[in-house]
Every structure is written in structure tokens, then in C-alpha cells.
Amino acid sequence: MDVNNAKSQMRKGMLEYCILLLLKRQAAYASDIIQQLKEADLLVVEGTLYPLLTRLKKDGLLAYEWQESTQGPPRKYYCLTADGLQFLTELDLAWSEIERTVSVLKHTKI
């Protein structure tokens, strides 16, 4: 049994939630999102992030705006839409339920 595979699947399952949490605080450039996830010990590569951002935008959960950059061409900054904020609220509830379930199972004596 490979625990790394299980850990990878768990990370994939919560990546969307973590990105939405970051974007609730402030709009962010993709590289900034990767850096913030890295600082939280969730390693993500551009090849994983960009398709996810594209899907979230297509689903109406994210929008973006171009902002001028002092270091080159304009950058695409992602932000939550109203639907994205509502979706995040629902994910927060789901996460709380999962946390409770895991806590009960970890601390229940059989």
C-alpha cells in the first residue's frame, strides 16, 4: 500500500477548496497562488493549477482582470464571483462536516 498515493489523492480533493479560500482574501496572480499554497505546504505546479483555474472560471466561480505589471506584460488576477463565494460557503460547511466525522472516528473507542 502506497501512502504517498493516498496523500496525493487527499491533496487533489482539497485543492479547489484551498484556492477558493485564498481568493476570498484577495485577488491573486497564478504564481502568487502557487507561492501561497507552497507556504501552506501544499505543493502545486502550474500544469495542475491553470486547468483548475480555467474550469473554475468556466463554472462561473472565478473571474479575472488584467493588471499592469512593472515586471513585464499585464498579469491575469483571479477573484471570486458571487457564485464562487456562495460555493465556498457550501464547501466550508462540507469541510466542517468532514472534520467532525474524522474527529469522531479518531477519538471513538471501539
List pLDDT tens digits, range 73-86: 999 999 999 999 99
Report the pLDDT value the prediction gives residue 110, as an integer from 0 to 100: 66
Is the pLDDT at 14 greater than 90? The verdict is yes
pLDDT at 95 over 70: yes
**pLDDT of res. 109:** 76
C-alpha angle with apex 4: 48 to 13, nearest 5 degrees?
45
Sheet with 62-69, edge to edge strand ranges: 28-29, 72-80, 62-69
Phi and psi torsions of 63, nearest 5°: -130, 170
Architecture (CATH level 2) of domain 3-107: Orthogonal Bundle (1.10)
